[in-house]
Amino acid sequence: MTLVEPGAPTAIGGQPEPTGAEDMGEARPLRADVWKRFRRNHLAIAGLIFLILLVLAAIFAPWITSYSITERSTSYRTGPSSAHWFGTDAIGRDVYTRVVYGARVSLKIGFVATFLLVTIGVVLGAISGFFGGGIDTLITRVIDIFLAIPYIVLAVAIASVFGRSENAVILVLGLTGWLALARIVRASFLSLKNLEYTEAATALGFSRNRIMARHILPNALQPIIVYGTISVGAVILSEAALSFLNVGPQDPTPAWGLMVAQGKGSLSNAPHLLFFPGAAIFLTVLAFVFIGDGLRDALDPKLK
C-alpha cells in the first residue's frame, strides 16, 4: 500500500502527481498567451489605440465635425483657427472635416483591398506549394513576370482601365498586391506538407482540400496575419500615391493623397494644406507597422 503524505497533490484515482506538478499553472488558450506577449510591446499598443481612435473618428465623423466635405466658407487658404481647426483649402472647405472623412476612404480601401490581396495570395500560394509540378511552375512564372514590372507603372496601367473611383482603386491595389504574399505562403506550404502530421492525414485518406485547409493552413497563419496587418498600411500609402498621381479617387472625395497633391503648390504660403493630410497618412501607416511588428513577436513561438 502506497502512503501519500497529507496535503500532497493527488491525481485522479488517488495516485500522487509527479514532483513539481503543483508549480505548473493551468494551460491557457493560445489567444490569451498571444495577447499577453502583444501587450508587452508598448509601440504596438500605442498603434492599436491610435487605430481604434481613427476608426471611431471615421464612424462618428458627422458628430465630431461642424461642416460637410463640400461646404465652403468665405475664407480661402486660412490657417488653423477656432472656427477651422486645420484651416481651409483653396476653395474654402474645412480641412479638418475632410481629413476626418478621409479616414473613411483610406480605411475602406485599406481593409477591403488587403482582404482581396490576402485571399488571392493565400489561394494561389497554397495551390502552388501543395501541388507543385506544372501548377507550381506556372504560378511562380506569373508572379515573376508581374514582379519584374515596376509596381507603380502596373497600378497606373490597371487604374486607367478600371477608372478612378474608390472601388477601382480597391481592385487595382488588390490585384497587384498579392505577389509577395503568394511567395510567402508557397514557401510555408512547401515546408509543412512534408511534416509527419500531414503525411498521417494523407495516410488516413483525408482529401487534399481538407489537408490544405485544416492541417497545413492553420500552421501557416503567422506570416499571413503579420503580412496582412502591415499590408493595410502599405495599401493606404499606395492609395495616397495613386491619388497624388491623379489616378486615385477624384474630387470632391476627401482622399488624403489627393489633398496632399492639391496642397503641394501652396507649401510656402499655406503649409497646413500639406501638413495635416500628410500627418494623417504618416501616423496611420506607422500604427499598422507597429501593430504588425507586435503581432510578429507575439505569434513567434521562439519568444514564448
| 258 neighbors 249 (Cβ within 8 angstroms) | yes
Q: What local confidence, expressed as pLDDT, does residue 63 receive?
A: 92
DSSP state for residue 10 in the 8-state scheme: B
| 181 neighbors 227 (Cβ within 8 angstroms) | yes
Q: Which residues have a Cβ under 8 Å from the Cβ of 274 and sit 6 or more positions away?
A: 260, 263, 264, 266, 267
Question: Rounded to whole angstroms, how far apart are CA atoms 121 and 178?
Answer: 5
Q: What local confidence, expressed as pLDDT, does residue 67 receive?
A: 86
Q: What local confidence, expressed as pLDDT, does residue 304 receive?
A: 54
**CA-based nearest residue to 297, from 192, 188, 222, 233:** 222
DSSP state for residue 70 in the 8-state scheme: S
Q: What local confidence, expressed as pLDDT, does residue 302 receive?
A: 57
Q: What local confidence, expressed as pLDDT, does residue 185 receive?
A: 92
DSSP state for residue 304 in the 8-state scheme: -
Question: Rounded to whole angstroms, how far apart are CA atoms 101 and 96?
Answer: 9
| 89 neighbors 243 (Cβ within 8 angstroms) | no
Question: Rounded to whole angstroms, how far apart are CA atoms 216 and 78?
Answer: 58
Burial 31-53 (b: 16+ CB within 10 A, else e): eeebeebbeebeebeebbebbee
Question: Rounded to whole angstroms, how far apart are CA atoms 115 and 128?
Answer: 20
Q: What local confidence, expressed as pLDDT, does residue 17 receive?
A: 47
Q: What local confidence, expressed as pLDDT, does residue 137 receive?
A: 92
Q: What local confidence, expressed as pLDDT, does residue 3 receive?
A: 47
Q: What local confidence, expressed as pLDDT, does residue 78 receive?
A: 84
> Hey, what CATH topology would domain 45-63+86-303 get?
MetI-like fold (1.10.3720)
| HSE of 55, CA atoms in CB hemisphere, 13 A | 11
| 114 neighbors 291 (Cβ within 8 angstroms) | no
| 50 neighbors 291 (Cβ within 8 angstroms) | no
Q: What local confidence, expressed as pLDDT, does residue 54 receive?
A: 93
- Rounded to 5°, the CA angle 28-31-37 comes to 90
The cell for 277 is 493630410
Q: Determine whether 7 is exposed, middle or buried from the number of CB atoms within 10 Å of its CB (0-12, 13-18, 19+).
A: exposed
Q: Which residues have a Cβ under 8 Å from the Cβ of 298 and sit 6 or more positions away?
A: 34, 35, 37, 38, 41
User: For cell 506570416, what's the residue?
Assistant: 223
| 270 neighbors 79 (Cβ within 8 angstroms) | yes
Question: Rounded to whole angstroms, how far apart are CA atoms 178 and 114?
Answer: 9
Please provide residue 203's backbone torsions phi and psi, each rounded to the nearest 5 degrees.
-65, -30
The torsion of the CA quartet 199, 204, 206, 208, rounded to 10 degrees, works out to 30
Written as tens digits, the pLDDT of the chain (304 aa) is: 444 445 445 444 455 545 444 444 454 566 777 788 888 889 999 999 999 999 999 999 889 988 888 888 878 888 888 888 888 888 888 899 999 999 999 899 999 999 999 999 999 999 998 888 889 999 999 999 888 888 778 777 877 777 777 888 888 888 888 999 999 999 988 888 888 877 787 787 777 788 888 888 888 888 898 899 989 988 988 888 888 777 878 878 888 888 888 888 777 788 888 899 999 999 999 999 999 888 888 876 555 5
pTM: 0.82
